[in-house]
Amino acid sequence: MQRTKALIENYYEAFNRQDTSALLELLHDEIVHDINQGSKETGKKDFAAFLERMHRCYKETVKDLIVMVNKNGAHASAEFMIDGTYIATDQGLPPASNQHYELLCGAFFAIKHGKISRVTMYYNLNDWIKQIKPPETATKFKILHLKGNEILPYVSSLANLRMQVFREYPYLYDSTLDYETNYLQTYVTSPECVMVLVLDNQQVVGASTGLPMQFEKAEFQKPFIDKNFNIQDIFYLGESVLLPTYRRQGIYHHFFYEREAAAKKFGAKMTVFCAVDRSLDDPLDPRRPKDYAPLDSYWERLGYVKHPELCAYIERKEVGEKTASLKSRVFWLKTL
């Protein structure tokens, strides 16, 4: 027990010193890392990359550490406070400006051959978002929560917003007002639809939609029906669209939080969304902006898992194409 307790204490001492080499020496070669509200990673290489990002974006100190160990020393848990500063913007999260935060955290460990073989982290991401959000953000925007026919007055503005955002990379959709207006009718006519609408001085600058999969179009239902899912258990998260000026201010995270709350209220067992999945040669695509970064790691931190075997095929015309063709979109799933 004492050896395990010392091992965990040494782990956090190395973390506080930002001594990556010393910390990695305490880990088993096949270390399993369960990231808070995210994916499972395996191996020291991935853990080292995680630490590099943490040290680049956050300056954190573990305080008030309490370590608990079971009788045979094979398992341990820890409770502690993080005293942190958000020093560089992390992908998919609000902008950093040296915001201070304090966060209660918990961690669970498995021990193998005297080294840490699993780390599972827990903390309240919503609490962290609230702490680092600029004070003016809460009053700058007006956020509406709409259902069904309540969306109707905003359809024209939403259609134009979707056309504008979807011309950007990675979508590159050459859409039309008629197509987008028709697509939005699915949400207007569904009483269980939810829309989170963002207004700035009465101008629609962002929106995000969701509805039970049973009310979505057939092409979105098909992959799940083919794999014998019960679509009545699934809540589909439609696209989130937000003008560039309003990004990295916590709104995107709010979109997920509100739609997942609606899904739970509906009684869904999982939430899903689908995303454009560009090819491995994508970095060579001249249309790709130099500063573009996929949101995969952000979605993983929210608890979503990519399922390449689940694809929707949507007929769309891309910028530069003469005619529309089927485009694949890969689903991401989260169990509620």
At residue 286 the predicted structure's pLDDT band, cuts being 50, 70 and 90, is confident
Query: Is the pLDDT at 300 greater than 70, yes or no?
Result: yes
Residue 211: how many other CB atoms lie within 10 Å = 25
pTM of the model: 0.64
Q: Are 310 and 330 in contact (CB under 8 A)?
A: yes
Q: Go through the domains of the chain in sequence order and give each one's CATH number.
A: 2-132 (3.10.450.50), 137-335 (3.40.630.30)
Helix axes 125-132, 251-266, angle to 10 degrees: 150
pLDDT digits (tens, 9 = 90+) for 177-212: 999 999 898 888 888 899 999 999 889 999 999 999
pLDDT digits (tens, 9 = 90+) for 138-170: 446 788 999 888 999 999 999 999 999 999 999
Tell me how far apart the alpha carbons of residues 305 and 330 are, in angstroms, rounded to a whole number: 11
pLDDT digits (tens, 9 = 90+) for 241-266: 999 988 877 788 889 988 999 999 99
Residue in this structure with the two tokens 């890392």, named with its chain if needed: 33
Lowest-confidence segment of 88-97, 222-231, 233-242, 320-329 by average pLDDT: 88-97
Tell me how far apart the alpha carbons of residues 157 and 236 are, in angstroms, rounded to a whole number: 22
Tell me how far apart the alpha carbons of residues 167 and 212 are, in angstroms, rounded to a whole number: 27
Which phi-psi region, left, alpha or beta, contains residue 228 (left: φ > 0; alpha: ψ -120 to 50)?
left
Query: Is the pLDDT at 37 greater than 80, yes or no?
Result: no
Give the list of residues 6+ apart from residue 151 with CB closer than 8 angstroms, or none.
158, 184, 187, 188, 193, 195, 197
Query: Is the pLDDT at 279 greater than 70, yes or no?
Result: no
Q: How many Cα atoms occupy the beta-carbon half-sphere of 40 within 13 Å?
A: 5
Query: Is the pLDDT at 21 greater than 80, yes or no?
Result: yes
Tell me how far apart the alpha carbons of residues 195 and 210 are, in angstroms, rounded to a whole number: 6
| Helical (H) or strand (E) element with 256 | helix 251-266
Q: What percentage of the chain reaches a pLDDT higher than 90? A: 66
